[in-house]
Structure 1
Amino acid sequence: MKKFVITLGLSLSCFVLSCYAQDLAMFKKDGKVGFINKSGEVVIDPVYSNGKSFSDGLAAVTYSGKMWGYIDSSGKFVIDPIFKRANDFVGGMAIVSMNGDNIYINKEGNEVNVKGADKLYEFAPEGVAIYKSNRRVGLIDQFGEVVLDPKYDVIRPFVNGYAKVALNNKWGIIDVKGNEVIPTKYEEIGHFIIDGYVWAKYNDSFGVIDNGEFKVIEGADKIQDIENSNQVIVRNGKTWGVVNDKQEWIIPSIYEDIRQGHGDLLAVRTGRKWGFINAKNERVISFKYDDAVAFSEDGLAAVKSHKWGFIDTKGTVVIPFEYDITAFNFSFTTQEKGFFEGVARVKKNKKWGFIDTKGNVLGNTWYDNLELFNKK
């Protein structure tokens, strides 16, 4: 399979070398798809009928509205638009549909054969993919070689280099080499490991696995995926609280919901209203919001009072309540609400745009639809 390069008459607003240093976001305007950089400048003009975000340096697009190919960040096709369907490149590989068959291709556009596979699965960033044969699943690498013989009933997607696996209705965790870092003996288990921690259910008790040792959390009947080993969000009955890394309750289970983010403050709901508390269960920001998202690394939290706005850690309104925000993109996959790496995706008057932490609209432009920024 050849690769080829055409420009389709694009008027680029940056040189190729400078594009490679930037993140790009896909936008849709007047029925066409293009891409902007973090300065709000159009880097690739909206000339495509449809498209997907950049991933692994390439973006799947269709120019004619029928066949898909892949462009680089200069807007040039580097893999022919000859596919009926085309998935994102992840870990150097993509699944495409050609002549009625689903196949793997690498970034050179060459097919990678996998013998004996019953079904193809998307690669993880670590360069492995689930490999299914005879009703069991294992792992393959980017060359189609078997990394882990099919032995599990289920392998979930990798997160931070680990994946949860099931065998005979028991769950464990493996690494990207197929090593079983947590044995398949738990009734339930979390999706990822943080600081050696992951939540699990064992012998009908909920608790955490701390570097291989299961520790019960008394009273727990559900646990959120752990983001901070010293702030484990736990449900007891119908309400939520927080335990520390010694499995001690530091915030009693008195809240209807708790959301964790960056920094020390937690977004919590009591009754129908949201507010913010610290790790000592002290009220820091009043319970007066219809909805709230925990603080981002930019020090702002999205809160809703009819419309969405943004507050700082003192509760001061930094960006007024005039936006809608969403947890979905074009392809309906979850994404972070609020600010992420200095920008937030918001909707106003049925149009989408990015705002910075001062509320300025990037490029002073609104679009019909807009994706988050993705590293090329």
Structure 2
Amino acid sequence: MKKLMVLALFFCGFLMSFAQEIIPFQEGKKYGYKSKWTNEVVIAPTYDYGDYFYGGYAKVVNNDKTGYIDAKGAVVIDLIYDGGSGFSDGFAVVLIKEMRGFIDAKGKAITAFKYEGANSFSEGLAMVQYNGKWGFIDTTGKEVIGFWYEEGRSFTNGLSSVRLNGKYGAINKSGATVIPAKYDDFIYFEEEEEDGEPGAIVKAGGKVGVVNASGKEIIPVKYQQVVQYRGNEAWVQYNDKWGIVDTSGKEVVPITFPTLDKLYHSD
């Protein structure tokens, strides 16, 4: 039994790897798939549209109906939907008329088709819109974070930025507020690096700074612009001059440059 399971896992991994090596191409008005390396046709051009492979499957369209194929060209989910996304974390968003729901890789619906908007799954949760507000579902289709938000983004590093009563903040995957919704804008967290903590560029009262995942302002909200934050350092504009500051408040590069381009080429 263990040998069979290992073989099955190996075969699935092989198919997903192979899928990454084939790409869509257009011949006349039809789409097919060919080898990324040899240009050999793998799947004949028979579709009105063919997307790239995601998660081992590609979205295809014929006669305005959407379905999914595998890397061998077999139709694994019939072309019955009015639109759809690529697969992410084993699920895809699909449409029936104007309403969205989610299906798994076998084509089984895990939600009702009742959502006005839907994002792909990220870190086990997907953002969905119902009656004009946004909340989150888990991979069983359960609504786990209520429909409170006017806007939001998919989870990254365990956090999602959301807009509530016209202001931006962030919540964790339990739905608890981590950063109060008090900012006018919120540019989402950079990926965590070995030499620095993740941070988000925020704006309040016309000034810009950086907060960490706990909501602490690690770069004060006092600058005209912050264009980049990585490795505990931010490129900032203050009194119309540019420089680089770190989270200790030190000017790593003095704020004396007249333009961002001059700062960029200062090395």
> What is the aligned partner in structure 2 of residue 94 from structure 1?
92
**Within 1, Cα distance between the matches of 2:110 and 2:12?**
29
**Within 2, Cα distance between the matches of 1:215 and 1:100?**
43
8 A contact 1:230–1:244 mirrored in 2: yes
Q: Please state whether the residue corresponding to 2:52 is helix, strand or coil.
A: coil
* 1:152-171 equivalence runs, <5 A: 152-171=149-168
* 1:35-184 equivalence runs, <5 A: 35-36=33-34, 39-40=37-38, 42=40, 44-47=42-45, 48-62=47-61, 64-98=62-96, 101-114=99-112, 117=114, 119-184=116-181
Deviation at 1:24, TM superposition (A): 3.5
**Within 1, Cα distance between the matches of 2:246 and 2:121?**
32
Unaligned runs of 5+ in 2: 1-10
Q: Please state whether the residue corresponding to 1:112 is helix, strand or coil.
A: coil
* 1:1-376 equivalence runs, <5 A: 18-22=14-18, 23-24=20-21, 26-31=23-28, 32-36=30-34, 39-40=37-38, 42=40, 44-47=42-45, 48-62=47-61, 64-98=62-96, 101-114=99-112, 117=114, 119-193=116-190, 194=192, 195-202=197-204, 205-210=207-212, 211-217=214-220, 220-224=223-227, 226=229, 228-236=230-238, 240-251=242-253, 252=255, 254=257, 256-257=259-260, 269-270=261-262, 277=265, 281-282=266-267
1:89-108 C-alpha deviation (Å, 9 max, x unpaired): 22333222336654332221
8 A contact 2:82–2:96 mirrored in 1: yes
Aligned CA distance change for structure 1 residues 207 and 247 (closer, same or farther; 3 Å): farther
More strand by percentage: 2
CA RMSD of aligned residues (A): 3.3
Identical amino acids, percent of aligned pairs:
26
**Within 2, Cα distance between the matches of 1:239 and 1:24?**
48
8 A contact 1:138–1:149 mirrored in 2: yes
Deviation at 1:71, TM superposition (A): 1.0
Deviation at 1:240, TM superposition (A): 4.1
Deviation at 1:143, TM superposition (A): 2.2
> What is the aligned partner in structure 1 of residue 5 from structure 2?
none
Unaligned runs of 5+ in 1: 1-14, 258-268, 283-376
Q: Which protein has greater RCO, CA pairs closer than 8 Å, 6+ apart?
A: 1
8 A contact 1:131–1:140 mirrored in 2: yes
Deviation at 1:55, TM superposition (A): 1.7
Q: Please state whether the residue corresponding to 1:111 is helix, strand or coil.
A: coil
More helix by percentage: 2
Aligned CA distance change for structure 1 residues 55 and 238 (closer, same or farther; 3 Å): farther
8 A contact 1:104–1:113 mirrored in 2: yes
1:214-268 C-alpha deviation (Å, 9 max, x unpaired): 2454861122353x133312233666432223233323352644xxxxxxxxxxx
Deviation at 1:54, TM superposition (A): 1.6
Deviation at 1:191, TM superposition (A): 1.1
8 A contact 1:163–1:192 mirrored in 2: no
Deviation at 1:207, TM superposition (A): 2.0
